[in-house]
Amino acid sequence: MDLMEKLCRASGVSGFEGGASSLMMAELKKCCDTVLEDNIGNIIAVKGSGKPVIKLAAHVDEVGFVVKHITKEGYLYFVKVGGIDDRILLDQRVIVKGRGDVVGIIGAKPPHMLSGSERKKVVKHDEMFIDIGAKNKKDAEKRVSVGDPIVFEPNYGVLNGKIFYGKAVDDRIGCYALIEIMKKIPKNLGCTVYAVATTQEEVGLKGARVAAYRINPDFAIAVDTTLAGDMPGVTEKESDLKIGKGPAITILEASGRGVISHPKLRSLMEKTAKAKKIPVQIDVLEGGMTDAAIIYMTREGIPSTVVSIPTRYIHGSSGVFHMDDVENSVKLVLETIKALAKKK
């Protein structure tokens, strides 16, 4: 099993990132000078010394669920953790991280028993339940408890050529990129690079806030996913980003409510991409934010930008991405770090 697959299969619902965080800790220790876990669970790795101080961030948490209630019949009601579309939930296989990994299937009242008007409505998540095959509540409680986190069933594979799919692609492909970047940074570069696997990004960018305050870097780059538009029903006006055409450099997020990339840092990145012949796309987002949205407002302000990897079906059970975009994101961030180091 390669590193990307390990990362996608690891469990790490927001606030319960332990499995994925442990993997990040182990991998970063192989290539960094020091690695630690902070009070909120961020994995913070450092390589090199001197100025400027550059922070890279990729969130290790994934969207998921938590057990809310166990019925007398042994079914589980749940709450969503992070933004998940109710339309994709029915009949999904999930893993409850209880006393061991407990397989479950998300169910709801059969359509055969719904009225005509009910069939026209999307079933809401609070009308769904998880079937773990329990005989009753007592039987269910032998394996699960209220408060246990739940993830989509782990999956990973190749669709075609270098097009892959996997659970928690948002943002394990960013975490993968972080590791590869830190492996490739020369020890004699003359600057300090922090790689942070941030926690709780999907529920308010919480880990990024804590880590940015602690590190107080001169520059920051978030590595995350973004919405690919190359699918039926999405117009080029809505999104012209395509998988396989390069990572995206973000101009702004959430119509400006998120990060608005620092113009000089973004310009340097664009010039670096052109000079090094790295294919890139430009991303202007009306919705969605990354860790950079909170990093750039920390302390006196931190010049920040985002390198995003176009991905289909973000926040679903299987995201789809192109491996070339991941590899080019590594090249782009690495060369931008080198350019920043030369400017001191």
160 part of a folded domain: no
Q: How far is it, in rounded angstroms, from Cα 178 to Cα 172?
A: 10
Diameter of the chain measured on Cα atoms: 69
Torsion of CA 146, 152, 155, 156, to 10 degrees: -120
State the average pLDDT over residues 220-225.
98
Res 119: pLDDT: 76
Output the average pLDDT for the chain: 96
Are 11 and 122 found together in one domain? no
Are 315 and 204 found together in one domain? yes
Are 40 and 88 found together in one domain? no
- The CATH number of residue 132's host domain is 2.40.30.40
pLDDT classification of 9: cutoffs 50, 70, 90 = very high
Q: Find the domain containing 70 and state its range.
A: 64-152
Q: Which pTM does this prediction carry? A: 0.95
Are 114 and 251 found together in one domain? no
Are 131 and 37 found together in one domain? no
Are 252 and 108 found together in one domain? no
Q: How far is it, in rounded angstroms, from Cα 136 to Cα 272?
A: 61
Are 185 and 263 found together in one domain? yes
Give me 45's structure tokens: 């790795």
For 57-68, write each residue's pLDDT tens digit: 999 999 999 999
Last residue of a domain, one of 152, 186, 209: 152
142 part of a folded domain: yes
157 part of a folded domain: no
Are 181 and 250 found together in one domain? yes
The DSSP symbol for 124 reads P
102 part of a folded domain: yes
Last residue of a domain, one of 152, 185, 201: 152
314 part of a folded domain: yes
For 244-299, write each residue's pLDDT tens digit: 999 999 999 999 999 999 999 999 999 999 999 999 999 999 989 999 999 999 99
pLDDT classification of 121: cutoffs 50, 70, 90 = confident
158 part of a folded domain: no
Cis peptide before 171 (omega within 30 of 0): yes
Torsion of CA 214, 80, 60, 35, to 10 degrees: 50
Are 58 and 183 found together in one domain? yes
State the average pLDDT over residues 199-226.
97
Are 139 and 192 found together in one domain? no
Per-residue pLDDT at 113 exceeds 80: no
- The CATH number of residue 315's host domain is 3.40.630.10
Looking at the structure of the chain, the number of domains it has is 2
For 294-309, write each residue's pLDDT tens digit: 999 999 999 999 999 9
Are 53 and 71 found together in one domain? no
145 part of a folded domain: yes
Are 108 and 184 found together in one domain? no
Active site positions, annotated: 201
Res 274: pLDDT: 98
282 part of a folded domain: yes
